[in-house]
Structure formats: structure tokens, C-alpha cells
A and B are shown apart, each in its own frame.
Chain A
Amino acid sequence: MKSTDRAAAFGLAGALALSLAACSSGGSDGADAGSTDGAGKTTLRVVSLLPGSEQAAIDAFDKQVDEFEAANPDIDVVPEEYEWKATTFAAQLAGGTLPDVFEIPFTDAKTLIANGQLSDMDAQFRTLPYADKFNPAIVEAGSSEDGKVYAIPAKNVYGIGLHYNRKLFESAGLDPDQPPTTWDQVAQDAKKIADANPGVAGYMQMSQNGTGGWQLTVQTYARGGRVQELSADGATATSTIDNPATVEALEWLQKMRWQDSSLGSNFLLDWGTMNEAFAAGQVAMYTSGSDVFTSMVQSNGLDPATYGLAALPLSDAPDAGVLSGGTLAAVPAGASDAVKDAAIAWIDFFYTAKLVDQDRAVADARTLVADDQPVGTPVLPMFGREQWEQNQEWIKDYINVPLDQMQSYIDSMFDLPLVNEPSRHTQEIYALMDPVVQAVLTDQDADIASLLADADQQAQALLDQD
């Protein structure tokens, strides 16, 4: 080979990066979306647990699969480990490798439906005996413009809470039954904890893979601000990232980082790594969905005795609110009717029936408790408060999560002023806000005003594309 040929060949190696995107075409043609073998048995690939879950959690899940298959002999369930991440989800979706039943956040449903990437599950959804009992706002989140249900409210609806480590509170002489109720108190307690435990972060906030923007939005809402506003007719959206509440939230963070030194030494954390750090006792307080306790027990070996959950502190601002979101279950576009029918049977069995049916609720709780899996983690109701209280009554004998350590959250759970996530370009705008949070955490001289102005401009450019 001549040297010029070689040079060209080397150069074209750069083009290999292209195959990242190019190989993945035709992902949602449904070719591999479930299958039915000759004997009429339907194979259904479903989301199971987070990768790296404890064996006991896997055992409990497998038992549930066995129960389901016994009740539905014509369905073969294949569990697949799964963690929703903005980046991997896009790749899996494009590559067509998502399971037949997968989970998506509320904020993504509308666009996925509009793009034709989800199967129409309306007929299947209507077969659920409790279909009309769902909180209508939640069903709406997974419905198309013409009111057909594509994604089904399944796993949870959460409000953000303040998670804290009771043991670390005690180590700093703080009362673990009196968690902070204002952001100033959070800062004070964080400093005491960090001073008493070198190397431990008294408080920390997620900053990576879009979670930085997600949690900065939580902080903004809690101080009465918003990061996006829609026009009255919903036609246009305006980015309001650069607002006084966000500035306040970042200044608060900046002070804890550079004056109090109470944020520890690891400033690049996302949902998964934050859970790891918290469960390992390296972070004393952080904010995340109220239901995260379950996955920390299943995947991070969290000791329940050290765990505490408090209501998110809210400022006095009239619009101060708690960011809420949730998870829907969906089936990729192009699934056959057999797969869709199997999917709804699984969704009913695994996610929803246990919330409205006493027998299922008890059976589910019994299976989980047998393997020491958490039962009773507080989540917001999908069917209204009464149903939720009824459900708690059914499973009362099985509840094994330390509810008294979550009392501060549960007491306020039904009075929280819930605010939905920004609806347009949600994940992209969160990602734009990541570097802002990271800059404040890693650069003492970070100029909050110019960082926010920059992010705001970029977000507006995205919103203007619509």
C-alpha cells in the first residue's frame, strides 16, 4: 500500500465513529419486538432490576416471574436488567434493543408517541378492570393528542424528597428525628456533619448526565422559580433558566462548596453514583425521588437503619413547589397483538394490580418480604389518596421499610404543592444546565450570572426549533 493510501485509510478511521449512529437505523421496525413460537407461546422481554442488584432482589423478582408464568402458561417472560439513563435510552431506542416492556419518564412520553416509537396500547389498557380509576392527569401523561393510551402509568409517581443519613446526623450531634426544614438549615447541618466527619459530604447535589439540570430545577422550584414558561395557547415556550430563584440556588451551593467546604470532594455524580455514595455513607444529605430507597436497598446495600427521608424544604415564595415526575411502562412500536396482550398482562400483574386488588397486594408483599425486599416505600398515589390508604391497610403486616424514619415526608406527602417537570426539550435542557452546576462546584470564581445567561440562550435556541 502506498503511503498516501495508508494516510487516507487512517483518516477514514475517523469515520468509524459514524457507525455509532448509522448502524442503528431501522431500530423500531419491531422485527425483534417479542416473538411467538410455533407452539403459540409468546416471549415477552421485560425490564427487571437495576444492573448489579443484590441476589435477594433477583430471587424475589424471579419468583414473581414464576408466579406470572404459572398464571399465564402461554407467556414466557425474559427479564432484562435495565437502568433508565438519557444517553443509553436513546441508543437502545435507536438500536431497537429495548425490552418489550420498558419504562420511560413522564416527560418523554408525548414526544415518543408523536414520533411513532411506542405501540398503541389503548385497547389493552381498557381491558384493565380499574382503567377508569387512575388519576386522569397521570393517564394523560402517556396518551396521544387524540386521547389514546400508549404508555401506562406503572412503576411510580414521585415527589422529590430530602434523603439523609441518620447515623451521620448523630455523629455531628444533630437529632436525626429533626431533619432540616429550610435550605439554610440544610447548609448549617451539612457543615456540622462535614466538620465532624472528614472526607464526608454534608450535602451533595447531582451534576452529571442531565441530573445536574434536573436537580437544579428541583432547587429552583423549591425557591419559587421556573425554568420554562409556555405561552397561554402552549404554542411557544420561553426559557427562564436565568431567574432569581436559580441564582439563589447556585449561590447557596457556591457558599457551601467554597466557604463551608461541606460538599465533600467528588463533584461529578449522577443518579446511580449518588445513590452509591449515599449508601456508602460518603454523602449525608441529597435530594432525589421519594422512592429511591427501594433501589438503594436492592442495588447499593443500603442499611435501612441509617436512612431518613424528609420533606423537601420550600421557601416562602408563593410559587415554591416540589418537582414531581414518574414512570410509565411502554411497548416499542411494531409489537404484535400477542406481545401487546402479554405486555398488558405483565403490567397488570407486576405494576398496577397490587395497588387496587387486595389479593395481588398481599401476594406481592409476601413474595418481596420473603426475600427481605422493601415493602411500603412512600410513593405518590396513582389512584387517589383513598385507594392508597386502603392499599397500605392491606399490606400493613408486611411493611418492612422504616416508616417512622420517613415520617416527616409522609406527613406532608398529600399536601405537597407538586410541580411538573419542564415539558419541552426536557432532557436536553437539563443537560445544558449540568455544566453550570459543575462550574459552580469546581471553579471558585464561577460567574453565575454569565453561566446562566449562556445556558438560557442555548435553551431558548432549542425551544425556538419547534
Chain B
Amino acid sequence: MSRPTVPETTTPTDLAPNPPSTAGALAPRPRRTSARALVDSVAAWVRRGGPHHLVFLLPTLVIFGVFSWTPIVRSVVMSFQKTNLVTPPTWVGWDNFQFVLNDPLLGTAVRNTLWFALLALIIGYPVPLVVAVLMSEVRRAKGLYSALAYLPVVVPPVVSVLLWRVFYNASPTGVFNTILGWVGLGPYPWLQDQTWAMPSLVLAATWAGAGGTIIIYLAALVSVPPELYDAAEVDGAGVWRKVWHVTMPQLRGVLFITLILQVIATAQVFLEPYLFTGGGPANATLTVLLLIYRYAFQNSLGGNYGAATALSLMLAVVLALFSLLYFRLTKSWSQ
């Protein structure tokens, strides 16, 4: 945050140098000088309207402090403790991390999460882009399409999951199985099978999340200068070449951002496996976040909060490193 966000109200006296201290010149008394300098700089800060800045910042600082940073710091502390949140916690060093790393379910959870992320990348990443490009070409009823595309985002996630659970009913009379039955397909087990469960979750998640990304792409598409298309057309480019040589390069920056956002979001997928399958069948949809949740809450007698926070911390570190690496690697391309 840069300091002078409000108009400067400096008076000429502010700019005047401190009067030289003769005593100080003969025998430097650093303590007094630095104290003096501190007082002076505080005074200058006050004169420049510093307290006002602080007052304006305060609500944000308090909200972030109370609801974001305090829990984050506390959870980092908790990952080195054993606590049931009732009796005083005890320090256990790296035990929680060791416990998590030795848990046979960690491997399953990581594999499942990567599998979800990969499927989401294959299914979920291109869909909004294709839809947005198609929608930008539409001439009539544009608002209607935008509303339709965005509608799933407005539906509360829990409601949409319950809705999809009805669709995914695995009996031959289930909604999807009935529809597919008309063309001679199925019935498919959807959520009730270890192989099918994860792709089913990704499908529902894509439907639920695509709207937001579509809006971002649409906004970016509007900003592509029309002259570029005109020029391409003059050069004899068809629709496909226009998309490839004009649209895509212009969207590059946005595409990189949505990709990293998606990877980070899918690494933290929780809602779908929690509500659709509870991590089943047989842990086929157990994700890292669901494992964190299980550590903390599966046992009705108060869970292993230390292990939960330790795994959260590890996930946060991995994602931070991944993000850094990603931005390093793509820096030159996304400019």
C-alpha cells in the first residue's frame, strides 16, 4: 500500500531540515538522535494525515486480522500441538506431521485429488472457454445465454449437489439413466462405483463452476480490439483461424490466471466429495481436504486437530510453491 493516498497537506515547515544540534555535532549521541528522529518522523506522519489513513484502514485490518490471519496463525501453532480444545494443549513437535505422512490414506487422498484436478483440467477447463467464444459470436438474446450460463453459480452449492444426486440415481429409473436409456445407453452406476464416482463429481463441479469463468472470458473477449478481427478477415482468415490467431493470444493473460485459480481450487475440492459420496465408495473420492475434515471431525469425541492443521499447512505450502513456480515459468508468456 502506498502511503500518500489522500492529497498531500504538507506545509513548508515539514520540508525544512531539522535544526542541527551543536552538541550532537561534537559528540554524537546516537540514542538521543534516533529518539528525536523517531519523534520527528511520527510528527511528520501525523501532520501528513497518517491517523486518518489508519482509521480508514482499521475495518479491513480488524476483519482480516480476526477472520483470516488469526485463524491462520493459530492453526500453524496448533499443527505442533496436541489438543482437544478443552484441556490445555501440549507441544508435540513434528509428531502431527509424522502421523499424517505415515497415514496410508494420505496417498489415496493425494492420488484422488490429483485425479480430480486432472479430470477437471480436461473437462472443466476448456468448457467455459468454448462456451464463452461461442456466446461472443451470438448476435441475438445474448443476455439470455449469459443468464443461463451464470445460473448454476447462483444456485446454492448444497442445493445443486442435492439436485445432481437425484440426477445421478443409479437405478434404471434415475434421471440420467432414463435419458440415456432412450438412446440405448446405460444404466450407469454414476456415484455408486469406484471408477465412475470421480468423473461424476467433476461433471457436476464443472456445471456448477463454469458460469463464473465464462463471465470472465466474455469480459476479456470484449476487450479484444475489433480491428484485429477485421485485419485477419482481410488476410482471408476463417472463424477457426481468427479464434486461434487473434482471440487466443489476446486472452493469454486471463487464461493463465484462470488456470492457476482452477488448479488451486481443485486441489482444495471438498464440497462435492463430502456431499455426494462422503469420500466413498471405499475411499475412491477421498480428497485431501476431506481427509483434513475427517481428521478434525470424524471422531465424535473430538478429533485429531493437530493432524488436521498439519495437513492443511502442508497443502498450503505445496500450493504456494506450485503457484510461485507457475508464475516464474509463465512470466515471459503471460506478459
Contacts and interface: CB of A to CB of B under 8 A. Distances in A.
A439 B108 CA distance: 14
B303 interface: yes
B282 A442 contact: yes
Contacts of B300: 86-87, 89-90, 93, 105, 108, 427
Contact of A18 (B298, B299, B313, B327): B313
A439 B193 CA distance: 9
Interface in B143-194: 169-174, 187, 189, 191-194
Interface string A416-432: 00000000010110010
Interface in B78-127: 78, 83-87, 104
Given A115-B84, A265-B170, A427-B298, A7 B324 contact: yes
B50 interface: no
A86 B68 CA distance: 28
B298 A90 contact: yes
A266 interface: yes
Nearest to A105: B300
Interface stretch (A21-29, A165-173, A291-299): A21-29
A28 B72 CA distance: 21
B251 interface: no
Given A90-B302, A111-B301, A443 B194 contact: yes
A115 B75 contact: no
A209 B320 contact: no
A13 interface: yes
B138 interface: no
Nearest to B325: A7
A115 B280 contact: no
B172 A199 contact: yes
B301 A24 contact: no
A15 B297 contact: no
* Chain A contact residues: helix, strand, loop or mixed: helix
Contacts of B169: 265-266
A22 B72 CA distance: 8
Interface in B242-300: 260-261, 264, 267-268, 270, 277-278, 280-284, 289, 292-294, 296-300
Interface centre among B67, B104, B319, B323 (most CB of A within 10 A): B323
Contacts of A210: 298
B260 A10 contact: yes
A90 B75 CA distance: 18
A20 B296 contact: yes
A425 B268 CA distance: 29
Contact of A15 (B72, B85, B321): B72
Interface size class on chain B is 35 or more
Contact of B296 (A90, A268, A446): A90
B280 A434 contact: yes
A209 B172 CA distance: 26
Interface string B51-77: 000000000000000011001101110
B200 to A, nearest CB: 12
B256 to A, nearest CB: 10
Given A8-B320, A11-B320, A22-B78, A438 B280 contact: yes
A18 B75 contact: yes
Contacts of A16: 68, 71-72
B215 to A, nearest CB: 20
Contacts of B84: 115
Interface size class on chain A is 35 or more
A6 B169 CA distance: 42
Interface string B20-49: 000000000000000000000000000000
A182 to B, nearest CB: 28
B271 to A, nearest CB: 12
A435 interface: yes
Contacts of A12: 72, 316, 320
A3 B284 CA distance: 36
B272 to A, nearest CB: 14
B323 A438 contact: no
Interface centre among B172, B277, B299 (most CB of A within 10 A): B299
B72 to A, nearest CB: 5
A262 interface: no
Contacts of A88: 297
B315 A17 contact: yes
B278 A28 contact: no
Contacts of A270: 278
A7 B267 contact: no
A10 B319 contact: yes
A438 B285 CA distance: 12
Contacts of B198: none
Interface centre among A11, A27, A428 (most CB of B within 10 A): A11
Contacts of B170: 265-266
B301 A11 contact: no
Contact of B85 (A13, A17, A27, A89): A27
A298 B86 CA distance: 35
Contacts of B323: 6-8, 10-11
A94 B293 CA distance: 13
A209 B1 CA distance: 47
A384 interface: no
Contacts of B319: 10-11, 13-14
Nearest to A26: B85
A333 B86 CA distance: 10
B292 A17 contact: yes
B317 interface: yes
28 contacts: A4-B327, A7-B320, A10-B260, A10-B320, A11-B316, A11-B319, A11-B321, A14-B312, A14-B315, A14-B320, A16-B72, A17-B312, A18-B74, A18-B308, A19-B67, A22-B75, A25-B83, A112-B301, A116-B87, A117-B86, A199-B173, A207-B281, A210-B298, A267-B192, A425-B299, A434-B280, A435-B282, A439-B281
Given A7-B326, A10-B264, A15-B316, 19 more contacts: A7-B323, A8-B320, A17-B268, A17-B289, A17-B312, A19-B72, A20-B296, A21-B75, A24-B85, A86-B300, A108-B301, A111-B301, A116-B86, A266-B169, A435-B280, A435-B283, A438-B280, A439-B194, A439-B282
Q: Which 8 A-B pairs have the closest CB atoms?
A: A11-B320, A18-B75, A7-B323, A19-B71, A14-B316, A439-B282, A442-B281, A265-B170
